[in-house]
Amino acid sequence: MQTHEIRKRFLEHFTAAGHVEVPSASLVLEDPNLLFVNAGMVPFKPYFLGQETPPFATATSIQKCVRTLDIEEVGITTRHNTFFQMAGNFSFGDYFKEGAITLAWSLLTTPVAEGGFGIDPERLWVTVYLDDDEAHDIWANVVGVPEGRIQRRGMEDNYWSMGVPGPCGPCSEIFYDRGPDYGVEGGPVADEDRYIEIWNLVFMQNERGEGTGKGDFEIVGALPKKNIDTGMGIERVAFLLQGVENVYETDLLRPVIDTAEELTGARYAAGGDAAAEDDVRFRVIADHSRTGLMLMLDGVTPSNEGRGYILRRLLRRIIRSARLLGARGETLVALLDTARATMTPSFPELAENWERISHAAAAEERAFLRTLETGTRLFDEAAARLRASGGSRLSGADAFTLHDTHGFPIDLTLEMAAEAGLGVDEAGFRELMAEQRARAKADNRAKKRDHGDLGVYRRFLDEHPTEFTGYDRLVDESTILGLLSGGAEVPAAAEGEEVEVILDRTPLYAESGGQLGDHGRITLPDGSAIEVTDVQKAGKRLWLHRGRVAAGEVAVGSLAEARVDPAWRHSAEQAHSATHLIHAALRQVLGPDAVQAGSLNKPGYLRFDFSWAQGLTPEQLREVEQVANEAVDADWTVNTIETSLEEAKAMGALALFGENYGERVRVVEMGGPFSMELCGGTHVAHTSGIGPVAVLGESSVGSGVRRIEAYSGMDSFRYLSAERLLAERLATEFKAPSAELPERIAALSEKLRAAERRIADLTAAQLRAGAAAHLDRAEDLGAVTYLGLRLPEGTQAKDMRALADDLRRRLGDRPAVVALAAEAGGKAPFAIAVSDAGVAAGYAAGDLVAVLGAEIGGRGGGKPQLAQGSGADPAGIDAGLAAVRARLAGA
């Protein structure tokens, strides 16, 4: 049974039982505790946590999930994937244990001809929590599972929570027995390689307190409503129903392995110890290709932090694995294309986004191949230093630096070291990696937020979600429904207090879609007032007005007038509308692959992030600015259309990746096909109301992502006016028309550079001329001659390096060390050189730089003959030169 058929049967089974089918959410959600959606229940968390009331009593979904905590373990086991599809059914206070158990059992065991999966009931085992007699009895007496195939397990295995205070409860897991060829008898408690878990039924009935880990927390009480959350792994069921050995041999992943075989010339499952490592690499390629594809589909782009860093690691592990299997040249796009072909039947949106994804992948592969070149050069330098010092094993620190700082994979370091006849301190490397992982996990735990944070708003979300009236008005009559201070409800607040205000209706815009929340004022009839400096949302439907009581006292239940600061709103609307024009202009100039990756709009200013592999030329940037201003000059009406999501897509409206849209959406259109986007923000009435748009520049914010910054309205005018004034002053200073300024300035700059070169040449010549005199100051320390000099202030690093090398050569018939340092621009550049005889005697400049650097707060590096660096504390120069002398004298 193909994977797409398994998905179809699952959804049909539960919709026939009255469940509402909910489409998969994006892998990227606004959740402070998650980089990616990692479980099927994540989109339903607000309902389970009591933060929102669910619009349905029961639901079913097949959710895209990504788990990346142990990326480096992928492929070693054959049943875990970083990307997987979690099929689930959910009950919010409706059916409980018996309903969940019987629904799961019937789908698994119903014959294929009748719409089920047709699994032999004799193959199925179940586990329940230690004291969950209710679930045990349902399995035994209602379903009829023999007592011998029902096992009880402890909290680590059969009790579920989110890891922080919130809902929890016992669970029951369903396992499939693969038979005696795969392990020992005795059920899941004996062997989870033979007995594969395929479905987990969570009975959410309790609330947990503080604690860490899976089992060391207190159960503080019962939930007011009992809920069901189940998860069936589509990939695991697929490999069992398709009769293959593991998830990598299913219809979704095996084709990627086949493509990898073609690209590398290696063979999967070839047998033998050496081939076992290759098999892991094939599985890494298959797994990461699909995960990378799905992450990029949902708008993630490779970068050096957060989600983008995870994606970059995945893509680079693919490239690395393919290289280790024998591939040469670019392979990534071909592998992702195969993954696309297998996934498109379930995710048709892959087809329309493939061009964008393939371009981003190709750019990342080219960048990584350049990294490999750099890493190879750095490895060669490290290996040369190692041989010169008589060593034979690369340190763990060097291997870690190559990996962590330069992105050079440890596998390639090990491979190249072996080819060079060198070893690597793998234990030291692993220790440093473990320390880094521990820091990352500690940081992640610190960022986790209690799921009860939004519980204080639950009553308002259920009873009084905010009515937003700000599209049509800037002033509205309201009632204060709630006041919060310090995260708790208060009946009143006095002058000077910081508060959150909940109104029944408001014209103030709450921050979303990149547009900052409005500023404004809430005034009571008696003159009491609150200055609003920020507006945020809770649960997407409740507006939180944050500010300070500016006068009098405000109380819950009071009538009030909510007023938007009109200047703030007008400037914010100009910037937001200008953002749409910049987006449209970029797509006109660069093409449809220039898609939005994020934005920020505040009064008079915008920044717009977009997917693009290289920097824009000055000509392209000027054209983007011109196209945007032509749209302003066209004075198009800005139309807003409220329609269904499907109709909006049919109209061609652009959606922002990672956003979750409801069934009804708002389309903002400017100039017909020129700009049409899904957007909930506020906008000017006509494009001419934006005023001039001044592009400040563009820059990189990560691999494959660029950023444009611009001013709009009066801020744009003020910027352009200041630029004009600057040009006028320069024209007066240079006694030239403004149009000739670039040539005049370029000519002057070249004169200055030529003068600086002449000065530098003279300085270097003076230093060389005095080299002989310097030799008279060399000291005989017995085994080695030492020359330590503090050079004149302002001596440049390149001149110091040349002098050190010259002195080294002049002392070349004896073991000698030269150490030079100077103060230059508040820093302390230094150089150390060792004569050839000194290197032969065991002295290395690269080792001695650490001695000098320690005294001046600096570091450096280089080769055994010559190394250099710089420090932040010139006051330590004399002490540093003395420290080098002391080291040599004591050697």
Please give the annotated binding residues for Zn(2+), written as ranges: 576, 580, 679, 683
Contacts of 841 by beta carbon, 8 Å cutoff, 6+ apart: 783, 784, 815
DSSP secondary structure letter of residue 827? B
CA distances for 807 relative to 225, 828, 882, angstroms:
83, 20, 19
**Cβ count within 10 A of residue 766:** 11
CA nearest 412: which of 371, 472, 462? 371
Where are the alpha helices (H) located in 770-796, listed in sequence order?
771-775
The encoded tokens of residue 321 equal: 């694995």
Beta carbons of 693 and 679 less than 8 angstroms apart: no
Which residues partner with 536 through β-bridges?
Answer: 544
CA atoms within 13 A on the CB side of 142: 16
* Per-residue exposure over 584-613, b if at least 16 CB sit within 10 Å of its own CB, e if not: bbbbbbbeebbbbbbbbbbbbbbbbbbbbb
CA distances from 663 to 27, 466, 564 (A): 19, 19, 29
List 610's β-bridge partners, or say none.
Answer: 596, 706
Please state, in angstroms and rounded to a whole number, the distance separating the CA atoms of residues 830 and 856.
10
**What residues are designated binding site?**
576, 580, 679, 683
The distance from CA 656 to its chain's CA centroid, rounded to whole angstroms, is 16
Question: Which residue has 């207090």 as its token pair?
Answer: 497
CA dihedral of residues 162, 165, 170, 173 (deg, nearest 10): 10
Residue from 174, 32, 179, 195 nearest 108 by CA:
174
- d(C-alpha 811, C-alpha 507), whole Å: 81
* Amino acid found at 653: A
Q: Is 842 exposed, middle or buried (0-12, 13-18, 19+ CB in 10 A)?
A: middle
Residues in Cβ contact with 11 at an 8 Å cutoff, skipping those fewer than 6 apart: 21, 60, 62, 87
Which of 497, 477, 600, 601 minimizes the C-alpha distance to 546?
Answer: 497
* Whether 350 contacts 293, CB under 8 Å: yes
How far, in Å, CA of 470 to CA of 313, rounded?
A: 44
